[in-house]
Amino acid sequence: MRGAQVKEAPFTGGSGGVMCDPGQSAIGGGYKINNGAGQAYQSLPVFGVSKEPRGWEIGATGSASGTVYVICVPWS
């Protein structure tokens, strides 16, 4: 997809998120647990004020840590 960008951010303590740049919309996302004990219980988009998807977040039990990813495209 033209103009698509993948952004990532570390998460610790079982939760975290990453946002698209201004003017972009999230079309998907995910996570990778690298360390710690725990399981993911949610992986979902973060919605802006106008209900457009603007990022991605993860929630995990225990002390899980890793990386959360979002796929962003220009918002038109």
CB 12 within 8 A of CB 68: no
- 15-19, strands of its sheet edge to edge: 15-19, 53-60, 40-47
Tens digits of residue pLDDT in 8-57: 999 998 899 999 999 999 999 999 998 878 888 999 999 988 899 999 99
> What predicted TM-score, i.e. pTM, was given to this entire model?
0.89
